[in-house]
Amino acid sequence: MATKQQLSAIKGAKVLMVGAGGIGCELLKTLALSGFQDIHIIDMDTIEVSNLNRQFLFRQSHVGQSKAKVARDAVLKFSPQISITSYHANVKDPDFNVDFFKQFNVVLNGLDNLDARRHVNRLCLAAAVPLVESGTTGFLGQVTVHMKGKTECYECQPKPAPKTYPVCTITSTPSKFVHCIVWAKDLLFTKMFGDKNQENDLNVRSSDASSSSEHAEDVFERKTDEDIEQYGKRIYDHVFGYNIEVALTNEETWKNRNRPRPIYIRDVPSTELIQENGNVDKIFVADDPLSVSAMASLGLKNPQDVWSLMENSRIFLEALKLFFVKREKEIGRLTFDKDDQLAVEFVTAAANIRAVSFGIPFHSLFEAKGIAGNIVHAVATTNAIISGLIVIEAIKVLQNDASNYRMTYCLEHPSKKMLLMPVEPFEPNKSCYVCSETPLLLEVNTYRSKLRDFVEKIVKAKLGMNFPLIMHGSALLYEVGDDLEEDMAANYAANLDKVLSELPSPVTGGTILTVEDLQQELSCNINIKHREEFDEEKEPDGMILSGWMQAPPKEKENNKISSDNGASTSNASPAVPLETEEDNEIEIVLTGAENVAAGNKRKLSDISNAATSDLCSVADKTNSKNKPEELDDDDDLVMLDDGNSNTSKKKRLR
């Protein structure tokens, strides 16, 4: 039963919720039933069919509508007396600036990606508004409290880096099924149905092309008079047959590796493969093109069946045909979507056929979709538990009850007979470049790297700045914004293509750059250290940033922990990352809870090794053969690497 002081704090509070997904639906309901009177909610997403099994405020009729608006309407039906303001928008939009955040007493995150979490963290710091952060994956969850100057901020501790793969591994020497998925999704699918102008590492030259560049036609271009079956067969033979033969010509590559086997249509154990495929004219096509299915056309029903080479080949050819017959208008602008049945079927079949070539076991569509879309099915009960904990911490924040703040972890297996593990918050990390303004160090070849590389790979990708301003002393090297004069905007655009050492104010070893984001009101200094050479596989960016708080990925599979609520997309650059779309990332930094009494002041390294094993077991049980490597929607799983090397140095809040 709430005390008078709690009720007073609740009723007088103005609360901002960010995210209306798995956690958000539960949280909005809990806030309303707890007596909160003024709630604002931001979410840019629309409702998908896959959301309906756990985001209980939504129904089938809501598919395609704004999550924030539908959630608002649903809650107002049983709590019409409260005020709920919804925003169908991106929290990173300029409208949601520091002044916007200052109007709230507390911000509650139910977000699904790392980038947005960092952005909200910075705005809360700039506005001096408390933040309650959260995340879930399966049976695991966490809630943390962040108060400027009193506790660590969201970025004070390492965040696991997205797993990347060198492009040579993906295109030439795959050894795991996940490599085949990345190849099928980010290279083949994109080449076949995506932007034709996008850089792609697939070999496009046909076997009969001469060495003359004028004859080097793109084999993926469909000829005018070419029948769709002939085109499908030609693509099949090229990517699974000819390209493998080309790879085999490099004898050095296969000295210590098993040689792959080229697969041509003629090798598939069916003489009537093409003719056996379905009749697209008989397929019922609903209004939603995402419902078109090669499995339905061929009479295959169970997504958990593991298809043979013949079945994979039939699915591949049928899916390709359906794209051209039923969805031709979309070709050239398609991107992979885990909710696009035909896309998942195409990628699964292509990955399986490639896997056979390299001696990798087949996987079912269900397993392949989990890897390609980073999916683990969410547990609605976990979302409900975490939402309740968020509200408990929010009430403490509103009462300024700092001595009772807790970071609470929801475990799958009891530790000391507890499934909820409360831990006192840590003090701010003095090395955090976000809340402690510690300088960073960038190693880079200043005579080769361009300002564009620095902006894209460091300022945006690693530091998470959206509207950066870069200065060398008093010289402004780069700025973005709608209010820039044309000549200034042209100058900054021209600077992007200049090598660092050739900028108007040259950047060389010993230079100190100041990088700011005016929207986030964040500024940091970066010391430049010139370095001549980088390892192309281990350091694909050609530059190394030290002092920022993202943990490096580790190679060992058994060191990974799962996460369900963080985003990036592959662009076939020197390292091809698995997609991290939108997640409800949980970055549980646990390493040992069964030997320590809950609630005591202690180092994070003292909290449960059992908890870590709980996390790993979730990953193992979810997919014992293959583990998705990155973050996706709050329905999804990401395998996060354990980055706890520095956690023993963290101090408890006193």
Q: Who's near 109: CB < 8 A, 6+ residues apart?
A: 18, 19, 117, 120, 131, 132, 133, 134
Do 491 and 517 lie in one domain? The reply is: yes
Do 323 and 219 lie in one domain? The reply is: yes
Q: Which residue has the higher pLDDT, 166 or 586?
A: 166
The chain-wide mean pLDDT, for the chain, equals 79
| Assigned token pair, 456 | 């894209």
Do 402 and 458 lie in one domain? The reply is: no
Per the annotation, the verdict on 124 as an active-site residue is no
According to DSSP, the residues that pair with 328 across neighbouring strands are none
Alpha helices in 197-240 (DSSP H): 228-236
State the DSSP string of 218-286: BTTSPPTT--HHHHHHHHHIIIIIIHHHHHHT-GGGGSSSPPP----GGGSS-TTHHHHS--GGG----
Do 494 and 411 lie in one domain? The reply is: no
Is residue 580 domain-resident?
no
Mean pLDDT of 432-442: 87
151, 429 contact by CB (below 8 A): no
Do 139 and 206 lie in one domain? The reply is: no
Report pLDDT for 578.
36
Q: How far apart are CA 449 and CA 496, in angstroms?
A: 10
Q: 């004898």: which residue's tokens?
A: 251
To the question of whether residue 20 is assigned a binding role by annotation, the answer is: yes
Do 46 and 82 lie in one domain? The reply is: yes
Do 611 and 472 lie in one domain? The reply is: no
Report pLDDT for 566.
35
Q: How far apart are CA 544 and CA 535, in angstroms?
A: 11
408, 423 contact by CB (below 8 A): yes
Report pLDDT for 576.
39
Report the half-sphere exposure of 145 (CA within 13 A, side-chain side): 32
pLDDT tens for each residue of 14-53: 999 999 999 999 999 999 999 999 999 999 988 987 788 8
Total residues belonging to the chain: 654
Phi-psi region of 281 (alpha: psi -120 to 50; beta: other; left: phi over 0): alpha
Number of compact structural domains in the chain: 4
Report pLDDT for 287.
52
Q: How does DSSP classify residue 40?
A: E
Report pLDDT for 231.
93
Q: Is 307 helix (H, G, I), strand (E, B) or coil?
A: coil
Is residue 435 domain-resident?
no
138, 376 contact by CB (below 8 A): yes
Residue 386 has pLDDT above 90, yes or no: yes
Helix or strand holding residue 308 (H, E): none
Residue 338 has pLDDT above 90, yes or no: no
- Sign (positive or negative) of CA dihedral 240, 242, 243, 247: positive
Q: How far apart are CA 244 and CA 350, in angstroms?
A: 14
Do 117 and 13 lie in one domain? The reply is: yes
To the question of whether residue 52 is assigned a binding role by annotation, the answer is: yes
Angle at the Cα of 565 (from 562 to 568), degrees rounded to 5? 95
To the question of whether residue 551 is assigned a binding role by annotation, the answer is: no
Report pLDDT for 623.
38
Do 540 and 647 lie in one domain? The reply is: no
To the question of whether residue 544 is assigned a binding role by annotation, the answer is: no
Report pLDDT for 75.
97
Q: How far, in Å, are 168, 449, 536, 541 from residue 533 at the CA level?
A: 19, 11, 9, 12
Q: Which residue has the higher pLDDT, 466 or 600?
A: 466
Residue 400 has pLDDT above 70, yes or no: yes
State the DSSP string of 395-429: HHHHTT-GGG--EEEEEEEEETTEEEEEEPPBPPP
Q: Which is nearest to 499 in space by CA: 543, 466, 452?
A: 452
CATH number at residue 100: 3.40.50.720
Q: Which is nearest to 363 in space by CA: 184, 577, 592, 186?
A: 184
Residue 638 has pLDDT above 70, yes or no: no
Is residue 168 domain-resident?
no
Is residue 511 domain-resident?
yes
Do 342 and 417 lie in one domain? The reply is: no
Is residue 266 domain-resident?
yes
| 124, 168, 180, 616: the active-site residue | 168
The edge-to-edge listing of strands for the beta sheet with 14-18 is: 83-87, 38-42, 14-18, 106-109, 131-137, 140-146, 407-415, 418-423
Phi-psi region of 431 (alpha: psi -120 to 50; beta: other; left: phi over 0): alpha
Is residue 552 domain-resident?
no
Range of the domain at 254: 177-359
To the question of whether residue 156 is assigned a binding role by annotation, the answer is: yes
Report pLDDT for 417.
87
Is residue 520 domain-resident?
yes
Is residue 571 domain-resident?
no
Mean pLDDT of 539-547: 87
For the ranges 111-120, 177-186, 243-252, 574-583, which has the lowest average pLDDT?
574-583
CATH number at residue 181: 1.10.10.520
Residue 357 dihedral angles phi and psi, to the nearest 5°: -55, -35
Q: How far apart are CA 546 and CA 609, in angstroms?
A: 28
Q: Which residue has the higher pLDDT, 380 or 637?
A: 380
Residue 523 dihedral angles phi and psi, to the nearest 5°: -140, 140
Do 329 and 382 lie in one domain? The reply is: no
Mean pLDDT of 277-286: 47
Which of these three, 521, 547, 573, is where a domain ends?
547
To the question of whether residue 51 is assigned a binding role by annotation, the answer is: yes
For the ranges 147-156, 157-166, 292-301, which has the lowest average pLDDT?
157-166
pLDDT tens for each residue of 283-325: 444 455 667 899 999 999 899 999 999 999 999 999 999 999 9
Residue 311 dihedral angles phi and psi, to the nearest 5°: -65, -40
Q: How far apart are CA 17 and CA 42, in angstroms?
A: 6
For the ranges 119-133, 210-224, 302-316, which has the lowest average pLDDT?
210-224
Do 144 and 219 lie in one domain? The reply is: no
Parallel, antiparallel or unpaired: strands 14-18 and 106-109 = parallel
Q: Is the whole model's pTM more than 0.75, yes or no? A: no
Residue 234 has pLDDT above 50, yes or no: yes
pLDDT tens for each residue of 551-573: 444 443 333 333 344 333 333 33
